[in-house]
Structure formats: C-alpha cells, structure tokens
C-alpha cells in the first residue's frame, strides 16, 4: 500500500484505536455503565489522535509537493521572461539599426523634396496614404 493512500490513514487510525482499546480494556471486567462510557471515551480519543497524526503527516507531504511545484513553475516563468527579454533586446537593436539607416538616407537627400514628391504622387492603398519614392541616395556622396 502506498504511503499517501487515504485507505492507509484509515487503517492506521483503526489499528491505533484497537491497540488503545486493548490497552484500556486490559483487566476491565464487569464495568459499570460509567466505566464503559469512560472506556469508550478513551478509545474514541485515541482513535481521533491517531487519525489526526496521520492526516497531519499527509498534509505536510502535500504542502511540500505543492511548494516544489510552485518553485519549479516560478523557475520556468523566470527563464521564459529572461529569454523573451533577451529576444526583444535583439529586436530593439535591429530597429535602431533600421532607424539609423533611414536617418542616413534623410541626411544625404533633400527631405523637403521627398515630401513634396510624395504629396504630388500619393495614392490610397489599404485605407492609408502611400507614395513611391523617387531615386534616393543610400550611400557615398551625391
């Protein structure tokens, strides 16, 4: 029988109660009604104490398992958050490189002329305003 089986707890409590009853009843012959009540009371108290001990043992075990499972879940969440943070850092660096490229284009070209061209040749696409850029310098000197 497994140590965490509920049947085991009930059997142990019954065994403890039987042992307490045997111990309490040893030499008890011809008990009065008050003596019988006292005997039954002691047996019931012994059975309750045994059952309570077994339930406490099982609950401590369950608390330990729950604590370990929560610690493992916390470690997994921490590792996932760390990995996602590192990944988004790489995306941010790539975004900065793209922004630097666009800034370089704007620096080498006449931004006002590009804006006027886009206003003249603009068109609607997917519910937004778009335009085709004229030739742009992307490197070197003009």
How sure is the predictor about 83, in pLDDT bands with cuts at 50, 70 and 90? confident
- Burial string for 94-110 (b: 16+ CB within 10 Å, else e) reads eeeeeeeeeeebeeebe
Whether 50 shows a pLDDT value over 80: the answer reads no
Domain ranges across the chain: 6-80
Higher pLDDT, 100 or 93: 100
Angle (CA) 54 3 66, round 5° = 80
For the chain, give the percent of residues with pLDDT over 90.
Answer: 10
Axis crossing angle, helix 33-108 with helix 6-25, rounded to the nearest 10: 150
- Burial string for 27-38 (b: 16+ CB within 10 Å, else e) reads eeeeeeeeeeee
Model confidence pTM above 0.85:
no
What is the token pair recorded at 21? 């009853």
How sure is the predictor about 91, in pLDDT bands with cuts at 50, 70 and 90? low
Mean pLDDT of the chain: 76
Q: What is the pLDDT of residues 12-39, one digit of tens each?
A: 777 776 776 666 666 656 677 787 777 7
What pLDDT is recorded for position 127?
87
30, 4 contact by CB (below 8 A): no
């Amino acid at each position: 029988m497994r140590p965490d089986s509920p049947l085991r707890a009930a059997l142990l409590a019954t065994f403890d109660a039987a042992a307490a009853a045997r111990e309490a009843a040893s030499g008890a012959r011809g008990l009065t009604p008050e003596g019988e009540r006292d005997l039954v009371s002691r047996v019931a108290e012994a059975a309750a104490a045994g059952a309570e001990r077994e339930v406490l043992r099982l609950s401590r075990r369950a608390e330990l398992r729950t604590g370990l499972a929560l610690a493992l879940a916390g470690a997994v969440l921490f590792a996932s958050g760390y990995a996602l943070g590192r990944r988004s850092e790489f995306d941010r660096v790539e975004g900065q490189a793209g922004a630097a490229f666009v800034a370089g284009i704007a620096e080498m070209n006449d931004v006002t002329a590009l804006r006027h061209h886009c206003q003249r040749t603009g068109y609607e696409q997917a519910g937004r305003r778009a335009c085709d850029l004229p030739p742009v310098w992307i490197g070197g000197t003009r």
